[in-house]
Amino acid sequence: MRTRAEALLSRFYGYHSFRPGQFDVIEAVASGRDAVVIMPTGGGKSICYQIPALMASEGCALVVSPLIALMQDQTQGLIANGIPAAALHSNQNEGDNRSIMEAAAAGKIKLLYVSPERLLADIDWFSRIKVSLFAIDEAHCISQWGHDFRPVYTELSKVKETFPGVPVMALTATADRLTRSDIIAQLHLTDPYCLLSSFDRPNISLSVYANPGARQRNQFIVRLAQKYPQDSGIVYCLSRKGAEEATAALSALGLRAVCYHAGMSPNARDASLRTFLAGRAQVVCATVAFGMGIDKSNIRWVVHVNMPGNIESYYQEIGRAGRDGLPAEAVLFYSLQDVILRRNFAEESGQPLVNKEKLRRMQEYAEARVCRRRILLSYFSEERLCDCGNCDNCRRPPQRFDGSVLAQKALSGVMRTGMKAGIRMLIGILRGVSRFDIRNAGYDRLPTFGCGSDLSEEEWLDYITQMVQLGAMEIAYEDANHLRPTPMGLRVLRGEEKLVLSLYTGTAEMRKTKKAKGREVSSDPVQQLFEQLKAVRADVARMQNVPPYIVFTDAALLDMAKRKPTTLTDFLAVSGVGEVKGVRYGKRFISEIRKFTGLSATERGATYRETLVLFNAGCSVAEIAQTKNIRESTVYAHFANLIDNGLITAFHRIISADDYRAISAELDNGAPGVFEKLNGRYPSGLVDVVNAIKRAVARKKGES
Ligand code: ADP
Ligand code: ZN
């Protein structure tokens, strides 16, 4: 079974091996067992159900998916790989939907994506066709414990009832324990094979910046975008308004930015999505409404302008970056303001206790001074014994200093106002800002007024944030978010206890990204070719009217740039180049590489070899003609040539024995005009093939 699965992986996807765990799930499902697949975003879940769907000798795999954009993206990707797939959804006219259903019933579609609503509405109809397996994508939507509960998902328990013998797989990127067991219970899975793969995404670097201002934030994002000029990023904002403002601000700074949130009209939203997926926007400023199932492999960075309410959401959102496995960046901007806001949300949610606890864990992550990846992985119950080396805390461990005096200044400010100051007010007092609200309250006459004027507003914000984190001060959420000292804070104030703080580096670190700005053309040849191949890809994508990553992922282009294949055979060895794509796009890319390496642009005999590759992959004459965009008679001419060169021997796949005998006999007869007569009766070019076969047979006889 393994060989067969690997052959399909190589033929359709161009990958050489399975990732850890993938084959085990495939094997389980292909032998009829239910399965639960929990893998981080980008881990390679799709292949876990797509390969079993291809292995099934008959029937169609039904993939339940919550979002139309996601279905379209997946089907487009499959079709580009030469796999018959389609989607049923409400954005398509009913006529199209009907003909797709007929095609599925006739066994012409291997993978059919459906919305849960559609599946449930037509479940009787589906029960009458041959279904090879069910894949329930984004399965966490079934659970109230999950962060994205969708009531319609709970009705999917009907699947197991209606299709008792058909294996059901549940797939999700959300791993918490409660959600997991909920999925199994609600879908009535029987003894499912469970794949819980590592959640580590080591290629995503993690950093957090506390309290940047809006200007700083925007400039930071611009620098990030400039660092990856060919790729794109996502800016997540808490509110629709925030997303709109960010779009406007970043556009004003010269970025090609689009906006995406649930308050926009479906048309406007769709336009944003298309622009982004097609690579015509560098950044999408969005609320969390954006992104589920976005399989755009060249998202290089994700910035959270506001802190999410829980680690699951955060991890899923940053997981959209770097799905190709190449280096990517996740940046979180954090402020106590966000914590206050999120707390209010949690308080007003249906489950305040659960949500406040989840928020606390998220806050701990944001405030951490230790390896951030360890925190994330431990949240998903994954053990990790060493630091990752790819987060801000690992890269530059914070410098500590005795911050007792600073803390005393702040704490005494808090005491002097009678615990009636919020963070901004306290900073104003410490820095001696003559502001109306401060003067009005008489705080400009306090002895602490101006005692901290040597520090900037950002520095104070950082140190006060740390004091709250360390438990020297707390925010009185119930009292207008005023600050107040804790018992530990009082001890610090009295000089009975020391408070060690981390040296503020915020803006200096943020500015560092600047160095990447204006990178000149790389002198590394691999990088250079990589950029050139990206340009070819952009052109091919434009001509085919598909997003660039549907043509080839960045990872595939990089492998191409490293291997520099100059023949079709070598081209097919590139990771991510399956047979259909190899033949469809090979010529363009190979000729670019040949030029780059100083060879003439075309490989001799390439077109024959392309035909041979497709023939060996089992394609029919019509399929070969379509893939290569040539006439069928030309395909036959290629066959004749390949037969003459001894490269095709499976003649029966080209012509039936009866036809061969009939044509052969008439040719031997040699009546005048026989050639024209036969050519009128049989597909043009087939007679040449018969002649070639006759020559091959004669050679064979001669040999023996
Ligand atoms: P998920 O659905 O888990 O978020 P995908 O199925 O979209 O992830 O896979 C993420 C990326 O990894 C895709 O570009 C996919 O083609 C690639 N991929 C999956 N399996 C393999 C493999 N065995 N070898 C190489 N690349 C793979
Ligand atoms: Zn780390």
Phi, psi of 152, rounded to the nearest 5 degrees:
-60, -25
Nearest ligand (C-alpha, residue 26):
1
What pLDDT band is residue 295 in, cutting at 50, 70 and 90? low
Atom of ligand 1 nearest to the CA of 295: 7
Tens digits of per-residue pLDDT, 105-119? 999 999 999 999 999
Nearest ligand (C-alpha, residue 38):
1
How far apart are the two ends of the chain, measured CA to CA in Å? Answer: 38
Pocket test for ligand 1, best of 46, 195, 197 (most atoms within 8 A of CB): 46
What is the average per-residue pLDDT within 419-439?
91
- Given a contact cutoff of 8 angstroms between Cβ atoms, the answer to whether 16 and 575 are in contact is yes
Q: How many CB atoms lie within 10 A of CB 345?
A: 14
User: What does each C-alpha distance from 506 to 314, 318, 333, 469 come to in angstroms?
Assistant: 21, 21, 11, 16
Distance, CA of 88 to CA of 94 (rounded, Å): 9
What pLDDT band is residue 61 in, cutting at 50, 70 and 90? very high
> Is the distance from the beta carbon of residue 81 to the nearest atom of ligand 1 less than 6 Å?
no
* Helix axes of 579-596 and 621-628: crossing angle, nearest 10 degrees: 40
Distance 244 CA to ligand 2 centre (A): 33
Q: How far is CA 451 from the centre of its chain?
A: 50
What pLDDT band is residue 42 in, cutting at 50, 70 and 90? confident
What pLDDT band is residue 520 in, cutting at 50, 70 and 90? very low
Residue scoring higher pLDDT (381 or 660): 660
Distance 142 CA to ligand 2 centre (A): 33
pLDDT value for 501: 86
Residue nearest to atom 25 of ligand 1 (CA): 15
pLDDT at 355 over 90: no
Nearest ligand (C-alpha, residue 374):
2
Tens digits of per-residue pLDDT, 133-146? 999 999 988 887 66
pLDDT at 521 over 70: no
CA atoms within 13 A on the CB side of 70: 17
| Residue 436 DSSP SS3 | helix
Q: Which of 230-239, 542-551, 563-572 has the lowest mean pLDDT?
A: 542-551
Residue nearest to atom 19 of ligand 1 (CA): 44
Distance, CA of 170 to CA of 36 (rounded, Å): 5
Distance, CA of 256 to CA of 225 (rounded, Å): 10
Tens digits of per-residue pLDDT, 82-106? 999 999 988 888 899 999 999 999 9
> Is the distance from the beta carbon of residue 207 to the nearest atom of ligand 1 less than 6 Å?
no
What pLDDT band is residue 51 in, cutting at 50, 70 and 90? very high
Residue 154: partners with Cβ closer than 8 Å, 6 or more residues away = 142, 186
Distance 195 CA to ligand 1 centre (A): 15
What pLDDT band is residue 514 in, cutting at 50, 70 and 90? very low
Distance 206 CA to ligand 2 centre (A): 8
pLDDT value for 88: 92
pLDDT value for 130: 94
Distance 18 CA to ligand 1 centre (A): 10
Nearest ligand (C-alpha, residue 207):
2
The amino acid at 10: S
Atom of ligand 1 nearest to the CA of 553: 14
> Is the distance from the beta carbon of residue 46 to the nearest atom of ligand 1 less than 6 Å?
yes
Tens digits of per-residue pLDDT, 447-476? 899 998 888 888 898 899 888 877 888 888
Tens digits of per-residue pLDDT, 156-199? 999 999 999 999 999 998 756 778 888 999 999 989 999 988 88
- From the list 601, 594, 623, the residue with the least C-alpha distance to 611 is 623
pTM, 2 dp: 0.63
The amino acid at 256: R
What is the average per-residue pLDDT within 691-702?
87
Distance 493 CA to ligand 2 centre (A): 34
pLDDT at 622 over 80: yes
What pLDDT band is residue 510 in, cutting at 50, 70 and 90? low
Atom of ligand 1 nearest to the CA of 18: 23
Max alpha carbon distance in the chain (Å)? 119
What is the average per-residue pLDDT within 661-668?
87
Distance 339 CA to ligand 2 centre (A): 23
- Given a contact cutoff of 8 angstroms between Cβ atoms, the answer to whether 685 and 663 are in contact is no
pLDDT at 149 over 70: yes
Residue scoring higher pLDDT (477 or 201): 201
Q: How many CB atoms lie within 10 A of CB 512?
A: 12
Residue 535: partners with Cβ closer than 8 Å, 6 or more residues away = none
pLDDT at 515 over 60: no
pLDDT at 513 over 60: no
Instruction: Work out whether the CA dihedral 113, 116, 118, 119 comes out positive or negative.
Output: positive
Residue nearest to atom 12 of ligand 1 (CA): 44
Pocket test for ligand 1, best of 10, 15, 17 (most atoms within 8 A of CB): 15
Pocket test for ligand 1, best of 13, 22, 49, 550 (most atoms within 8 A of CB): 13
User: What mean pLDDT is reported for the chain?
Assistant: 88
pLDDT at 508 over 60: no
pLDDT value for 147: 65
